[in-house]
Amino acid sequence: MQAVCLSTPAAIVRSSVRGRARSKSVVAPRRGGVPSVRAAAEAPAAAVEASELDFAAYIAEKNAAIEQALSDSVPEMYPERLHESMRYSLLAGGKRIRPCLCIAACELMGGTMDVAMPTACALEMIHTMSLIHDDLPSMDNDDFRRGKPTNHKVYGEEMAILAGDALLSHAFEYIGRETPKSVPAERTLRVIVDVGKCVGSEGLVGGQVVDIMSEGAEAGEVTVETLQYIHAHKTGALLEVSVTAGAILAGAKEEDVERLGKYAQLIGLAFQVVDDILDCTQTSEQLGKTAGKDEAVGKATYPSLVGLEESKKIADKLIADAKDLLKDYDQEKAAPLIGLADYIKNRQN
Ligand code: GRG
């Protein structure tokens, strides 16, 4: 079984773990949810190329299907408050980048949306639970997410922790139970293993831990390599497995899974570089979450380590390299993944 994701661990960060409970946000971001990839892709017709319009139409179609599938994936049932809390965050909007990547990769490799959808939903469940837990008072202590009060602000801390836990376990059950029987069981099993790896101590959780440790570090102690480790694990791993899982479910050849994995690593790092840029250039209203937090807590970011202009150049180069990896595929079929790479670079929230 081929291991997915993740670069070589960077230098160990010498730092003490600092207390994480911080002051509450004072600025209420825009309410009503963050625009999805679809909404963001809908630019005035006169100003965009035909290919951009195709991308907008593709994303609009996928996004509607994703929203419906997500709603169906967590029914309203007993215990009502738990399921309400799970649905509150899962259906709070969000750009749905991970499900879109999963479906687009599956379709590029000859699969269908139906084959990828259970995994696409599971990835969004995992992403959502990581946001719920990240916002907790013991972590980032945030009041707003996706333009709405955070889960613990509405349902209380105990329920927010448990809603996150339930979403995490439901995600794996959902892939195993809902992936169409037409998909060979070994492909589904591989996806479950890969997703597990990308979420655990060698993925998201590992990245979050190094991030927390780095916050207590002295200036200069957090290097670009450490930052890359954090980004590759905390953010990149889930984006990467979104792409590779879609390809695996479609029955892609190993070399294609590998190539698409590299594409995903590059857009994953670009995603976080752009996130760092947006944190210091956008308002809380535009972001739907508290802006300027990185600087407020003294976090090392790309702009703080290499400057804003250099950060933009790095993001541009990562996206160009990612798109270059797709050049040998039928460009019409690869258009969604190309469009998603551009979207990650150009997004405003
Ligand atoms: C996964 C078991 C488990 C625990 C969670 C708290 C934690 C461990 C990890 C933190 C992960 C985290 C918050 C990473 C940041 C990723 C990121 C850049 C999120 C923003 O993603 P967008 O912009 O958000 O796609 P939307 O709201 O559009 O979906």
- Residues facing residue 148 across a β-bridge: 145
Pick the atom of ligand 1 nearest to 140's CA: 6
**What are the structure tokens assigned to 251, written together?**
């029955």
- Predicted local distance difference test score (pLDDT) of residue 48: 53
Read off the pLDDT of residues 23-46 as tens digits, 9 standing for 90 and up.
333 333 333 344 455 444 444 444
- Which residue's CA is the nearest one to ligand 1's atom 6? 134
| Alpha carbon of 285 to ligand 1 centroid (Å) | 19
Q: Is residue 109 part of a domain?
A: yes
pLDDT tens for 223-257 read 889 989 999 999 999 999 999 999 999 999 999 99
Instruction: Please say whether the beta carbons of 318 and 269 come within 8 A.
Output: yes
Asked whether the whole model's pTM tops 0.85, one would answer yes
Q: Does any ligand 1 atom lie closer than 6 A to the CB of residue 187? A: no
pLDDT tens-digit readout, 312-341: 999 999 999 999 999 999 999 999 999 999
Confidence of residue 348 (pLDDT cuts 50, 70, 90): confident
The minimum-distance atom of ligand 1 relative to the CA of 235 is 16
Determine whether the shortest distance from the Cβ of 273 to ligand 1 is under 6 A: no
Closest-CA residue to 348 (of 25, 35, 21, 17): 35
For residue 94 and ligand 1, the question of a CB distance below 6 A is answered with yes
105, two tokens: 């990769």
Whether 21 maps to a domain, the answer reads no
Give the mutation target among 134, 161, 344 for probing the ligand 1 site: most ligand atoms within 8 A of CB: 134
- Ligand 1 atom with the smallest distance to the CA of 272 is 18
Report the atom number in ligand 1 closest to the C-alpha of 92. 27
Is any ligand 1 atom within 6 A of the Cβ of residue 234?
A: yes
C-beta 299 within 6 A of ligand 1 = no
**What pLDDT is attached to residue 65?**
98
Whose CA is closest to atom 29 on ligand 1? Answer: 94
**Residue 234 domain-assigned (yes or no):** yes
Domain containing residue 120: CATH number: 1.10.600.10
Cis peptide before 79 (omega within 30 of 0): yes
Whether 153 maps to a domain, the answer reads yes
The answer to whether position 10 is within a domain reads: no
Q: Is residue 53, in this structure, part of any structural domain at all?
A: no
- Check pocket membership of 146 for ligand 1, CB cut-off 6 A: yes
Q: Which domain holds residue 337?
A: 60-346
Ligand 1 nearest atom to the CA of residue 93, by list position:
27
Q: Could you read off the pLDDT of 261-270 as tens digits, one per residue?
A: 999 999 999 9
Is ligand 1 within 6 A of the CB of residue 208? yes
The total of structural domains in the chain comes to 1
Model pLDDT, residue 230 = 94
For ligand 1, say whether the CB of 235 is within 6 Å of any of its atoms. yes
The finding on whether 97 has its CB within 6 A of some atom of ligand 1 is yes
* pLDDT recorded at residue 36: 54
Q: Which atom of ligand 1 is nearest to the CA of 275?
A: 18
Q: Do the domain assignments include residue 55?
A: no
Whether residue 90 lies inside any domain: the answer is: yes
Residue 134 CA, closest ligand 1 atom number: 6
Torsion angle of the four alpha carbons 210, 199, 270, 104, in this order, in degrees rounded to the nearest 10? 180
Is the beta carbon of 139 within 6 A of some atom in ligand 1?
yes
> Which residues does 54 contact at the CB level (< 8 Å), separation at least 6?
335
Q: How far does the centroid of ligand 1 lie from the alpha carbon of residue 131, in Å?
A: 5
| pLDDT tens profile 106-147 | 999 999 999 999 999 999 999 999 999 999 999 999 999 999
Question: How many whole angstroms from 44 Cα to the centroid of ligand 1?
Answer: 30
Q: What residue spans of the chain are helical by DSSP H? A: 37-41, 50-73, 80-90, 97-108, 113-134, 151-155, 157-178, 185-199, 204-215, 224-230, 237-249, 254-281, 284-287, 293-296, 302-306, 308-324, 331-346
CA of 173 to the centre of ligand 1 (A): 20
> How does pLDDT run across 167-226, given as a tens digit for each residue?
999 999 999 999 999 999 999 999 999 999 999 999 999 999 999 998 877 777 888 899
Position 22, amino acid:
R
CA–CA distance, 248 with 266 (Å, rounded to integer): 19
